[in-house]
Amino acid sequence: MSGWVWGARVVVIGCGNVLFGDDGFGPAVIERLHADYRLPDEVVAVDAGTAAGELLLDALLGEETPGTLIILDAMDFGLEPGVVEEVPLEALPVNKRADFSVHQFPAVNILKELRERKGVALTLLGCQVKSLPDEIHPGLSSPVARAVNNTAKLVFEMVCKEVKTQLPRI
């Protein structure tokens, strides 16, 4: 079956709930990628909302797995709001190590298994939030909104490089 997500060689997943302020960073980058860039055919960028864990478990356990996976999410690591950094898996909270949740942010175990068992090249890009509302309140804060454009550009460059290096030589 030609998969909608998993037939692709490079998959970009935006995680987050757009109803909760800066948590919508991941989906906002995906939206920008679709609006402003022409993604190569081998690349799929998907706004997974709060269903990323479910998607990744399917990727891990199924027959089709992308070669490269880029995950975008909000984070709160005490940095300047709007700072986007690559986050090593090892930097994620240790209490998630044994969790195979299918909801919200994909558990570290799923990501580690994807990397180690399936050989997926994995990049996590986290954006430091300014704040997260207690109640539904859509819309990114100014510093996080400003980070969306640059992150979309960065991701586009990453996927182009990835696809190019993976293309067979003619």
Residues near another protein (CB under 8 A) are 1, 3-4, 6, 15-21, 23, 46-52, 54-55, 57-58, 60-64, 73-77, 87, 92-93, 95-96, 98-105, 107, 109, 113, 124, 126, 129, 132-138
| Closest of 111, 121, 116 to residue 165, by C-alpha | 121
CB of 151 to another protein, least distance (A): 15
Distance, in Å, from the CA atom of 95 to the CA atom of 42, rounded to the nearest integer, reads 35
Which C-beta is closer to another protein: that of 145 or that of 160?
145
Residue 21 · residue 140 · CB < 8 Å: yes
Smallest gap from residue 135 Cβ to another protein (A): 3
Q: What minimum distance in Å lies between the beta carbon of 161 and another protein?
A: 24
Give yes or no for a contact between 108 and 89, defined as CB atoms under 8 angstroms apart: yes
139 near 128, Cβ under 8 Å? no
Nearest to 22 by CA among 62, 58, 76, 70: 76
Neighbours of 62 (CB within 10 A): 12
Q: For another protein, which is the closer residue by CB, 76 or 160?
A: 76
Nearest-approach distance from CB 89 to another protein, in angstroms: 11
Which helix (H) or strand (E) is 151 found in, with range?
A: helix 142-166
Q: Which is nearer to another protein, 63 or 80 (CB)?
A: 63
CA of 93: how far to CAs of 72, 87, 107, 109, in Å?
Answer: 17, 11, 10, 11
Q: Least CB distance from residue 147 to another protein, whole Å?
A: 14
Compare residues 109 and 160 and give the one whose CB is closer to another protein.
Answer: 109
Residue closer to another protein by CB (options 101, 141) is: 101
Instruction: Give the CA diameter of the chain.
Output: 55
